[in-house]
Amino acid sequence: WDTADQLAIDAAAVRQRLPARSDRDGPTVHHVEPRSDSLPHAGGHDATHSAMNVNLDACITCGLCERACREVQGNDVIGLAHRGAASKVVFDFDDPMGDSTCVACGECVQACPTGALMPATLIDAQGRGDSAT
């Protein structure tokens, strides 16, 4: 209240506008259970494209593939759907990669930092890339 006194503010008027609080009260802690069922699952493998393999479980939604597709190549096939924790990479209108308008230029593969997008020739039948041991 020293600052209030220096500014000639009536402390009683300020206290009247603030909710009553006891000095014994600590911060209120609320426990919130995560609702994973409320978020759409963005993961999974998509091997429907003949030249590309998609593993959205490895995706960190950095947006580099989207920018490479849209800004570098001008194809505008890849986009980010939803916001926040529910965001995910989608192809066209959330189509499987094989049903999208992807021309397999490979620009998104070069931009992807996690290997979520890989050339199909580097993925074996179990969905592992060439770096698997």
pLDDT score for 39: 45
Contact 119, 109 (CB under 8 A): yes
Sign for the CA dihedral angle at 13, 17, 20, 25 comes to negative
User: How many CB atoms lie under 10 A from the CB of residue 84?
Assistant: 6
pTM of the model: 0.62
pLDDT score for 27: 60
Given the candidates 3.30.1240.10, 3.40.50.11740, 3.40.630.30, 3.30.70.20, the CATH classification of the domain at 41-122 is 3.30.70.20
- In order along the chain (133 residues), what is the average pLDDT of each group of 10 residues? 63 67 59 53 76 90 94 93 90 90 93 92 73 51
pLDDT score for 26: 59
pLDDT score for 40: 46
* CB contact set of 53 (below 8 Å; sequence gap of 6+): 45, 46, 47, 117, 118, 119, 120, 122, 123, 127
Q: Which residues of 87-99 are buried (b: 16+ CB within 10 A; e: fewer)?
A: bbbbbeeeeebee
Q: Which residues pair with 54 in a beta bridge?
A: 46, 117
